[in-house]
Amino acid sequence: MSRIEARFSALQAAGRKALIPYITAGDPNPAVTLPLMHDLVAAGADVIELGIPFSDPMADGPVIQLAMERALEHHVSLSQVLEMVRQFRSRDNETPVVLMGYLNPIEKMGYEQFAKSAAEAGVDGVLTVDLPPEEATDVVPLFKARGLDTIFLLAPTTTAERARLICEQASGYVYYVSLKGVTGSSALNVTDVAEKLDMLRTVTDLPIGVGFGIRDGESAAAVAGVADGVVVGSVLVNQIAANADNPDKAREAIAAIVADMRSSMDR
Amino acid sequence: MSDSNPIDYSAVPDARGHFGPYGGRFVSETLMDALDELERVYRKLSADPEFQAEFDRDLAHYVGRPSPLYFAEHLTDKVGGAKIYLKREDLNHTGAHKVNNTIGQALLAKFMGKPRVIAETGAGQHGVATATVAARLGLKCQVYMGAEDVRRQALNVYRMKLLGAEVIPVTSGSRTLKDAMNEAMRDWVTNIDDTFYIIGTVAGPHPYPELVRDFQCVIGREARQQCLEQAGRLPDALVACVGGGSNAIGLFHPFLNDESVRMYGVEAGGLGIETGEHAAPLSAGKPGVLHGNRTYLMSDEAGQIIETHSVSAGLDYPGVGPEHSWLKDIGRVDYVDATDDEALHAFRELTRVEGIMPALESSHAVAYGMKLAARMSPDQIVVINLSGRGDKDIHTVAGIDGISI
């Protein structure tokens, strides 16, 4: 059983929902990422989404764009991101890590090489924002052969027909983007999300994580009421921007938000 | 290419928008349904005689087509080689080939009932062409433009404002065309219900490379017929500049089956390919994925997109339309480059000898076209696509001359 599958089954058995924080690897500098990943777990994270910095993050709002720019000032590459995961695994062999990013850095490394290196480093899943299932038919089997789950996005604009196509290729979990927009957009509408999730559940048995627009314990708890997992990114990354000169303070602030979401979700 | 195994150019792209290994649709899920819808509407309308008639009417009476094919006798004499003909896209309404495409896409927006259009622009020509058709059709228009380009192309920025468009300077990344395209994509994903994204070149996710090509093919269809009428035969060579590559595809595509016609796409060599300061992905880049398609790109070893350099804002882009990538690989088109200096020299030469002031983008084609014609014989013919006029670049050229206007 993969780490992702094991984690979601354990949560389901305990009647709990997954808390899935996102951070950008190397933000604000490469030394912060590893301790921050451990902080996230200690504060209650069930799965970590680790962003691969990219120069042209088309699907991200200003908060994540700036995080990627901060990381790229230190020339954080995909190889370094994999090395961070390898180091994380020396202390934590339980928490699933999903790499999230854009296709070009992976394409440049080569899909075969990437799949091999990622699996060896201890990566569990890969979510490439700009790789829809139509273009993923060669890539998914390569990832699967190395035990990597391919996480796909579903959106408010996704029809039932497309959802079926996507879920045929997806494994681990699927990520429902709660609103039309980029990361860091304004608040989501839980009623709309619940309605869409009802449709998606007729299409797939995979756990469904929901992200975009979740900013505090209250919205996390509301989403946890309808989804299997809660993905939170911009509100955490914002703490790094706000404490750019003091990464320790940023880590504390991020851990506090995650812990608050955890307790709100478990209440 | 082997004669026994001719390539069927009409068979690309395939149903999923692939030109060989290039093209495709690499976007986030939120956009997929909108692209499917665009493709459905385009398939329907491109086969609809009424839509085609309206498009042709607009091209004739609003754009002023056909644009002339002009025998540049004086430039030909000066160069002393093949006869040089200029396809005068600079004489179109708004001053460049860009309007052929914006007319087409604005008609699509109208048929789809979208009240708002957005666009990205580099030199500002596509932004102006979009603002123009938006004004005419009463569509709300916002144009994303890199902050660096806003500075370089102040005249076009003001033109867009006069036309009623809002120009939004983009301050992320390298503050040029690629960043404007990122920002336009972000806008589109947020406002997908009421907004049509008018992409300015033959790049982006399927079906954009195909539909922009189809709208621009009027250039090559006219040039082919005009050359047959004026010279009694087909040209020996075609030359066009390539940033994203829409004017080049528009000229080349209707000639692809004419095996005797050689084609040259001229990229921006900037300070010289060897310096790395250029915008020539086909000459010096590698395949990758950006802005919704797989194509030749300028990226570093880690897959990050590299900042480009060109004296012309319209060529300052790290990618290129996927069909060009394919035409390069199969060897049908030769991709070459002209440096900033060569383009500026050609700008001055054409202005002085023919009284025609080309855009700095088009000056790259003129520069290579002159070089090419010089090594050909006087009974041969070169057609250069003069994709835009140079008025917008006068400030840039004056600045290089140390004159402030």
Domains, chain A, ordered by start:
3-266 (3.20.20.70)
Residue of A55, A107, A134 lying closest to B173 (CB–CB) = A55
The per-residue pLDDT for B405 is 82
Which residues of B fall within a CB distance of 8 Å from A65?
A: 172
> CB of B34 within 8 Å of any CB in chain A?
yes
Report d(CA B316, CA B384) in Å as an integer: 21
Which residue, among B370, B365, B153, has the nearest Cα to B245 in the 3D structure?
B365
Can you give the pLDDT at residue B2?
44
- What is the per-residue pLDDT across B299-331, written as a single tens digit (0 to 9) for each? 999 999 999 999 998 898 999 999 999 999 999
- Total count of residues recorded for chain B: 405
pLDDT at B174: 82
- Of B301, B307, B287, B27, nearest to B178 by C-alpha is B307
Distance CA A114, CA A143 (A): 9
Question: pLDDT confidence of A1, banded at 50, 70, 90?
Answer: confident
Of B33, B179, B288, the CB nearest to A157: B33
- Which chain A residue has the Cα nearest residue B27? A130
CB contact under 8 A, B190 and A181: yes
Interface test with A, best of B14, B18, B22, B26 (most A CBs within 10 A): B26
B263, HSE (Cβ side, Cα atoms, 13 Å): 26
Residue B23 to residue B20: CA distance in whole angstroms: 8
* pLDDT tens digits, one per residue of A139-160: 999 999 999 999 999 999 999 9
Residue B191 to residue A130, Cβ atoms within 8 A: no
Residue in A27, A39, A49, A149 annotated catalytic = A49
pLDDT for the residue numbered B1: 44
| Segments in chain B below pLDDT 50 | 1-3
Distance CA A153, CA B204 (A): 20
**Tell me: the pLDDT tens digits for A63-79?**
999 999 999 999 999 99
- Chain B residues within an 8 Å CB radius of A162: 32-33
| A79·B28 Cβ contact <8 A | no
Residues 77-136 of A with CB under 8 A from B: 77-79, 102-109, 129-132, 134-135
Active-site hit among A60, A124, A149, A228: A60
Q: Is pLDDT of A202 > 60?
A: yes
Q: How many CA atoms lie within 13 A of B74 on its CB side?
A: 8
Q: Is the peptide bond before B66 cis (omega within 30 degrees of 0)?
A: yes
pLDDT given at position B4: 52
pLDDT of residue B71: 98
Question: What average pLDDT does chain A have?
Answer: 96
Between residues 277 and 336 of chain B, which touch chain A (CB distance below 8 Å)?
286-292, 294, 297, 299, 301-305
Catalytic residues of B: 98, 120, 387
Element (H, E) at A209: strand A208-211
- Coil, strand, or helix at residue B356? coil
pLDDT at B175: 87
Cβ atoms within 10 A of the Cβ of B1, count?
A: 10
B11 inside 8 A of chain A by CB: no
Contact B271, B265 (CB under 8 A): no
Say what the pLDDT of residue B172 is. 87
Written as one letter, the residue type at B42 is Y
Minimum-distance CB partner of A56 among B28, B182, B191: B182
Amino acid A186: pLDDT:
79
Chain A to chain B Cβ contacts (< 8 Å):
125
B56 in contact with chain A, both atoms CB, cutoff 8 A = no
* Residue in chain A nearest B305 by alpha carbon: A55
**A193 touches B: beta carbon within 8 Å:** no
